[in-house]
Amino acid sequence: MAELNYSPAGTGKHAMKRLSVRVDLTAMVDLAFLLITFFMLATTLSKPKQMPLIMPANGPGGPVPESRSMTVCLGKNNQVLCYLGLPDKPLAGPLIVKPGETLRKALVETGRRVVATTGKELIVVLKPDEHCIYSNLVDALDELDIANVKTYAIAKISTKDKDMLKQRGIY
């Protein structure tokens, strides 16, 4: 509890009385711990953010126009091979890029080209190789999101794509 004690400071004509104050802070400390405990239990920590990924239903795939489909093959040593069209006769490429800014640049430029020629959006097929590391796939998905590619799929890499990677030394 708070106490006020009067004690004479001296004698004489101009002597002043000193007040000694003693404040008991036990209740204040209890309240502080109760508030800390309440806010620790009542708040939610930041939740991990995730990008929505919708996988197609199992079944036969439909035809994809080669003039709109860009294939991105993820190889070893953080290298990416991308081309527009079919692996037998690509309409553009194949280009070897690194994940990040150069992949984004290739996606944006190819997307603009597809919109200018067909009037429709780009379709991207991601094909990770068995030598590809997982973070490259995540980085490629992030680049698709940044480049505003709305239609994409993750598919198994074909033997033709593996041969194309082997020819360029990134398989």
Q: CA 72, 73, 79 angle in degrees (round to 5)? A: 105
* Average pLDDT of every residue of the chain: 77
Please classify residue 17 by burial: count the beta carbons closer than 10 Å to its beta carbon, then call 0-12 exposed, 13-18 middle and 19+ buried: exposed
Mean of pLDDT values over 43-63: 71
Strands 3-8, 17-22: pairing kind: antiparallel
- Percent of the chain beyond pLDDT 90? 5
Strand partners, 5: 20
Residue 2: pLDDT over 60:
no
Q: CA 124, 84, 117 angle in degrees (round to 5)? A: 95
Higher-confidence position of 31 and 65: 31
Provide the 8-state DSSP code for 156.
P
Q: What is the pLDDT of residue 137?
A: 82
Q: How confident is the model at residue 36 (pLDDT cuts 50, 70, 90)?
A: very high
Domain ranges, ordered by start, for the chain: 3-42, 69-167
Concatenated DSSP letters for 58-109? SSPPPP--TTTEEEEEE-STT-EEEEEE-SSSEEEEEEEE-TTHHHHHHHHH
**pLDDT tens-digit profile of 118-168?**
888 888 888 888 878 888 888 888 888 888 888 888 888 888 877 777 777
Let me know: does 84 contact 69? Beta carbons within 8 Å: yes
Q: Which fold has domain 69-167?
A: Nucleotidyltransferase; domain 5 (3.30.420)
Q: How confident is the model at residue 34 (pLDDT cuts 50, 70, 90)?
A: very high
Residue 52: pLDDT over 70:
no
Tokens of 118: 């067909």
Q: What is the pLDDT of residue 14?
A: 60
Let me know: does 161 contact 73? Beta carbons within 8 Å: yes
Please classify residue 20 by burial: count the beta carbons closer than 10 Å to its beta carbon, then call 0-12 exposed, 13-18 middle and 19+ buried: exposed
Q: CA 122, 138, 115 angle in degrees (round to 5)? A: 10
**Does pTM top 0.85 for this prediction?**
no
